[in-house]
Structure 1
Amino acid sequence: MKTIAILATLFLSASFAADAPELAGTRGKVGTLENPKLVHRLEITRPGVYENFRVDAQGKGGNIVKITADDVTLRNCEIFNSSGNGVGVFGTRVVIENCRIHHLLSGTFEDQHDAHGITGRWGDVTIRNCDISHISGDCVQFDPDRKSRGSLTIEHCHLWAGPLEADAPGFKAGQSPGENAFDSKTMPDGERNKLIIRHCHMHGWSQPSQIQNRAALNLKEHIEALVSRCVFDDNEIAIRARGPGGRGDARVTIQDCAIYNTQVGVRAEDKIEQFKISGMAWDPDVQSRIERHGGKDLPGYENTGEHEAPPINDLVAKPKP
């Protein structure tokens, strides 16, 4: 058995690290390039490529970058210093890539209000190679209005929470704001929204926090979700998968992910009806691997190929400045 575990660990490490692009997290340049254009708000109403903007919201609220057109690419931008959302997506066929989004803070640490990194409506949206942190809502949340259908892909992103280095309005240095790396909200029925999250590094969603059950992924409501080759570290809950009830009936598949230094690795709730896990790698510092809440029966539950996790540095790309 020990030999099998060692071989499985080596296989996972090789599958993640054979090519640098396959490591979890960002790769290459993230943020602005040389000589970015400084603006305080950006409204995109026409198709096209919009790149190299430094968007300093100067503490203002609303959607600091608002995309209402279809066929838009937002690339190599820095979006920060807001009491509202970094990017609001209200078009389809939208790509957001190589962007750094941070310090979107509303309310106080004790009474946080939502300020998300990227939010908006489902609809053929791709978020790629972005670094999002220090928000008082979620790094990514779709759709707070519960009025849209479509798909969302998040890949090679660094979605994290951590202590503020300096005081900010309503918050003090050392406090760690934010709720989740990702949170799903949908219409209650009809066609399921499609969610893909792959090759992402999500960490820091731990206590102390203003909310209970702080999780990297809060997968709920009417979605079909595939999470693959992601790395989770230092979270209260890495993956929260929620079944039928007031928060919907997610269908969730987890493939070849790794969880480190976490209180609860996977929390399955409300008798989730379709929940499949394969190839999960576990660090010894995960206190509880899988917990069930709201009922022990999980129709359609599968869990195969569990094994010991390799060193986390074998799986995570080093962020570049």
Structure 2
Amino acid sequence: MHSPISGLVTFHPARLAMRRLAALLLSGLLGIVGSTVLHAAPKPVGTQGHVGCVENPKRVERPEITEPGVYENYLVDSNWAGGNRVKITADNVTLRNCEIRNASGNGIGVFGKQVVIENCLIHHLLAGSFKDQKDAHGITGSWGRLVIRNCDISYVSGDCVQFDPDRKQSGTVTIEDCNLWTGPLPDSAAGFAKGERPGENAVDTKTPPDGERCKLVIRNCHLHGWNQPAAIQNAAALNLKENVDAEVIHCVASDNEIAFRVRGPGKRGGAHVNLIECAIYDSGAGIRIEDAIEHLEIRGLMMGQGVLEKVRVAGAKPAAATTNGKASLPAPPLKDLLQHGFTSESK
């Protein structure tokens, strides 16, 4: 039996050399053992129950939602057209049990506030080609009290979720119980050949350079397949950067070049990141720490099999670290964790 590991690692500005920090991380960060903190009943990681359309969906070409309300059971098959295939400009909208597919633009563009997107299947959003990939995101738009729940998003030539490409607004985005993934295409599609892997990140953050921090919560999600060969270098499940407070809880990252890429100050600010009881498997790098990140807190991180480099440090002189914990236990088998969730004991 294995149990998730608890502990605390906090990063703050200091004058430690890169090698010293890397050694400290490798010996301390990667397995801090203590009591497991669980805040809710365990459940499978990722989507649960039915995702996508239900019986007799309504076929629509390019809906624009301009009034509050609940909109459900739409099938948007775009025949490789571009633009935001579903555009939400109203506040107080729920979009439920829809499938958006086969586009060269974004699946859903969200420009209203207090929006919920749940039980949606979004896939094959492909622009350009593998050698000249263009952005086509699963869900994008403006920060603004958005919840993305129980959705499966895959095979995008941009990111499954990206906020905000225009970097004009602040707000909150919560992503929970989702599968955000890519992999070699099973068949040729648009300008991509069978076997080519589209996409950049499961989640990518872009924010205004100053002002109030955007808030991102990613909870109980499976993030996988962001690996090489890819159209970009440093493919990562999470690319957390700029002026954002990000909290990642009970997430599993597997089969990625980089699981969690956490980036410090640049011209648009640097991310503040909390990683809480997550697990990493089969990745080139577990955590890539860049540019002297000002705040990185890690509690209960588990490392499973196949992680080649648990911590990688890049960019400017990294921050100092303080650790409080003992040696780690290995993560449970990936299949068990996905099926049973983050329990205190996983068989």
Give the TM-score normalised by structure 1.
0.92
For the residues of structure 2 that align with 1:40 and 1:166, how far apart are their CA atoms? 24
Look up the match of 1:187.
208
Count of residue pairs brought into register by the alignment: 311
Which residue in the other structure is 1:98 paired with?
A: 119
User: Residues of 1 paired with 2:64 and 2:321: CA distance?
Assistant: 44
Partners of 1:178 and 1:48 lie apart in 2 by 32
**Structure 1 gap ranges (5+):** none
Distance, in Å, in 2 between the alignment partners of 1:141 and 1:58 is 23
Query: Partner residue of 2:88?
Result: 67
Partner of 2:99: 78
Instruction: Say if 1:6 and 1:77 are closer, same or farther in 2 by CA, change over 3 A.
Output: closer
Contact 2:111 2:141 (C-alpha < 8 Å) held by counterparts: yes
The residue aligned with 2:71 is 50
- Given candidates 202, 208, 211, the residue that maps to 2:232 is 211
Q: How does 1:101-140 map to 2 (within 5 A)?
A: 101-140=122-161
* 1:87 equivalent in structure 2: 108
Q: Which moved more, 1:159-168 or 1:230-239?
A: 159-168
- For the structure 1 residues 263 and 256, does the alpha-carbon distance in structure 2 shift closer, same or farther, using more than 3 Å as the test? same
TM-score relative to the length of structure 2: 0.85
Equivalent position amino acid for 1:152 in 2: V
- C-alpha distance in 1 between matches for 2:97 and 2:248: 25
Q: Where do 5+ consecutive residues of structure 2 fail to align?
A: 6-32, 341-347
Q: Is the 8 A contact 1:275 1:300 kept in 2?
A: no
Following TM superposition, by how much is the alpha carbon of 1:230 offset from its aligned partner in structure 2, in angstroms? 0.1
* Correspondence 1:225-244 to 2 at 5 A: 225-244=246-265
Cα distance in 2, alignment partners of residues 6 and 19 from structure 1 = 18
In the alignment, the residues of structure 2 paired with residue 139 and residue 301 of structure 1 have an alpha-carbon distance, to the nearest angstrom, of 34
2:184 is the counterpart of 1:163: yes
Q: CA deviation at 1:194?
A: 0.5
Query: Residue 152 in 1 paired to residue 173 in 2?
Result: yes
For residues 179-212 of structure 1, what are the alpha-carbon distances to aligned partners after superposition, in whole Å with 9 as ceiling and x for unaligned? 0000000000110000000100000000001100
| Cross-structure match for 1:275 | 296
Aligned partner letter, 2:67:
R
Change (3 A) 1:299 1:224: farther
* 213-222 or 303-312, which deviates more: 303-312
Alpha-carbon deviation of 1:246? 3.5
Deviating runs (4+, > 2 A) in structure 1?
5-9, 299-307
Please state whether the residue corresponding to 1:287 is helix, strand or coil.
strand
- Tell whether 2:338 aligns with 1:316: yes
Check 1:129–1:301 CA distance in 2 against 1; reply closer, same or farther (3 A cut): farther
- The equivalent residue for 1:246 is 267
For 1:139, the aligned partner's letter is C
Whole-Å separation in 1 of the counterparts to 2:255 and 2:148: 23
Structure 2 counterpart of 1:178 = 199
Task: Using CA pairs under 8 Å that are at least 6 residues apart, name the structure with larger relative contact order, 1 or 2.
Answer: 2
Equivalent AA in structure 2 for residue 155 of structure 1: E
Rounded Cα–Cα distance in structure 1 between residues aligned with 2:324 and 2:81: 46
C-alpha RMSD of the superposition = 2.2
Q: Which amino acid aligns with 1:308?
A: P
SS at match of 2:335: helix
Deviation, 1:294, is 1.3
Give me the identity figure in percent. Answer: 58
* Equivalent pair of 2:4/2:302 in contact (CA under 8 Å): no
